[in-house]
Homo-oligomer: A and B are copies of this chain.
Amino acid sequence: MGRYPAGSPGWRDKVTGQANYGADFSLPGMITGRVLRSPHAHARIVSIDTTEAGKLAGVRAVVTAADFPDLPSEVVAGGESPVNYRYISCNAIARDKVLYEGHAVAAVAAISAGVAEQALKLIRVEYEVLPHVIDVRDAMRDDAPLLHDNLYTEGVDPKPTKPSNIAKRTEFLLGDPAAGFAESEIILERSYTTQPVHQGYIEPHACVASVAADGMTTVWSSSQGQFMVREFCAKLLKIADSDIRVLPAEIGGGFGGKTTVYLEPLAIALSRKSGRPVKMVMSREEVFKASGPTSGGVLQVKLGARRDGTLVAAECELAYQAGAFPGSPAIPGCMTAFACYDIPNARTVGYDVVSNRPKCAAYRAPGAPMAAFAVESALDELALELGMDPVELRLKNAAKEGTRALYGPKMPVIGFVETLEAARAHAHYNTPLKANQGRGIASGFWFNIGGQSSAAVHINEDGTAEVVTGNPDIGGSRASMAIMAAEVLGIDYAKVKPLIGDTASVGYCFLTGGSRVTFATGKAVVEAANDVVQQLRARAAKIWKCEVDEVIWKDGVAHPAQGQTDTRTQLSLAEIAASAARTGGPISGKASLNVGGAGPGFGTHLCDVEVDPETGRVTVLRYTVIQDVGRAIHPGYVEGQMQGGAAQGIGWALNEEYVYDDQGRLQNSGFLDYRMPVASDLPMIDAVLVEVPNPAHPFGVRGVGEVPIVPPLAAVANAVARASGVRVNDLPISPPRLLAALMK
């Protein structure tokens, strides 16, 4: 499908900033909301007095947790991952306690940002400051300050009698690891740590909420799912789904971090109280202090193998920071850790640990990159110890169709071996290195998901088409939707316009995440387009006065079926569209599905670095991402996903971290101090698309967006280790840390 233009509809507007993002909506009478945030990492809220703030001229509303329903703790909904609405509510606005610096305590709406800021200063909050804990290992200690008095570790036997910061223990087991290690000829055991990293989307969280006189609530916001925003706000504010309409803004990056709500419930509460539309926009400092990031983790890996490289046993124990409320990606960490390999005896144990940091949010392949960092680093050491080529070691143990995964299922058709073979054959892998240079290789896995999606395809009178779905386009999915619809309809891509509907005008779509959109929503688009084709055939049959099955649809044209002796000429989609009123009315197709059969994704990355032995600075010289992409609907955007994931992973590996002072206050809440890679930091990242079509999708699609962030942490670390001879198992491998290691 390479005959399509480079950009998704609207790309020019995105590039020039003309697109309308969350902060770009305005309504008459609109006022501005601002949030009062906790200066403490951990404190009890003794009292909040908003009297003076409410009296300030120009202030229209002040809200605190008292304005929100006190949801029961057990409110947990299904979906891709369990959701505890009490936690989301208490994270959006603190109830009783603040659990991290930046935790929202109150919000004000006023006629200007200046007045709102002034009002924040008039809110008197009396805090009882409590001891805090930032790091995961500290938080797991018996004597650690407790964030939640009523949090008892789940998943342990017997049930604990005293509360803990460990929210949950999870274990996955396959075979008999102890026996496996006993028969291993070589055993390698290592510890690793990773730092929390922020998704780093360019656009801060922003929304406008407007509550009508009859309670009907409209929200414009930038998120990864307008239906998610609706559902969460409905639950947090006890509003019926039908009484909230959420209109999606163009989104300036999400990477998982916009799969929950922060400002929207506050803006709704403020609008409801003031009777005015309320706009709220986070500053970058607020983004860092009160949204995202993904967990930092502490991991231990143990590998047992034969001398020929066959993995016999493996164990991984990981503890992930959840931030202030339970919900780290420890479970997917456990599930993905060994998913690339066919290991008969394996166990993963995960701990979900709260500490006085912002509640973690999903971040591209949640939980997987940290686990892969540990496992793929250990594998690299194993390869070195065995004297094996690291690609060969992986090929020897690679998961294939039918491999039983530790977390349960047997692998369907997958393309991991193909990525390893492509890596081995790639010029990158066979280019000599110079002094202080090293080449790292690492692989990675992500499940990819399907789930609920809806789509509608409307045929216009002039033969053009609209394709409507309910998924924000983060990575170019509009282009993919239009391409698939154009293929099914048999018309030119330029005639198909993909659009993202609001929650009221399109059927339900689960959020944009899990690398699901081109796969699952794409399948809904294909079915909706097929629905249209059926109707087009029926219209042609009506015009020709024949049966529908005497009409064939091909290349955008109705033909009489083979064997029909008829001399009737063909009818193009445009011709049928033009006469639609006379043949039964408008032509629209739709589909609503719960899509299964997502094809798991695998990637193998090659990374060359040069280490400056005098400063510890690492320069990425060359980087190649090789990935089984199923079938690339829009190859340009697939490459973009692969490059973007690698870039984020390189930042994670080399520079990104949160720096806290001893009061638990974040010291680097800005892009100058939180060091993400920029274009000049990186080489052109080469993307190799391996296509092993997913048989469960009509076009062979498998998700592509998350896999590429899984391997880079280890690929970089392995490259650094091979370049410098020193292995750093604690991320980020920043110059001071590497220099210290080199000095040792």
Q: Which residues of A contact B (CB under 8 A)?
A: 7, 9-13, 16, 18-20, 24, 26-29, 78, 212-214, 216, 231, 234, 240-243, 245, 275, 451-454, 456, 458, 460-462, 464-466, 468, 495-497, 499, 501-509, 580-582, 584-588, 590, 592-595
Contacts and interface: CB of A to CB of B under 8 A. Distances in A.
Nearest to A593: B585
A12 to B, nearest CB: 3
Nearest to A458: B507
B468 A504 contact: yes
A586 B497 contact: no
Given A242-B466, A501-B501, 15 more contacts: A12-B213, A13-B212, A26-B26, A240-B464, A241-B460, A242-B495, A245-B497, A452-B586, A454-B588, A456-B590, A466-B505, A505-B505, A505-B506, A508-B588, A584-B593
A546 to B, nearest CB: 21
20 contacts: A13-B212, A13-B213, A16-B213, A18-B213, A20-B27, A26-B28, A231-B461, A234-B462, A240-B460, A241-B461, A241-B464, A242-B464, A242-B465, A243-B497, A245-B499, A454-B588, A466-B504, A501-B501, A582-B594, A586-B593
A241 to B, nearest CB: 4
A532 to B, nearest CB: 11
A505 B29 contact: no
Nearest to A499: B504
Contacts of A592: 585-588
A461 B195 CA distance: 37
A507 B10 contact: no
A508 B595 CA distance: 28
Contacts of A458: 454, 504, 506-508
Given A212-B18, A213-B18, A590 B590 contact: yes
B24 A27 contact: yes
Contact of A508 (B9, B28, B586): B586
A586 B243 contact: no
Given A78-B581, A241-B462, A594-B585, A18 B29 contact: yes
A453 B507 CA distance: 19
A737 B117 CA distance: 65
Given A214-B12, A216-B9, A581-B594, A505 B508 contact: no
A520 to B, nearest CB: 10
B590 A584 contact: no
A66 to B, nearest CB: 25
A299 to B, nearest CB: 33
Contacts of A460: 240-242, 508
Nearest to A241: B460
Nearest to A496: B242
Nearest to A24: B28
Given A13-B214, A214-B10, A586 B507 contact: yes
A78 to B, nearest CB: 7
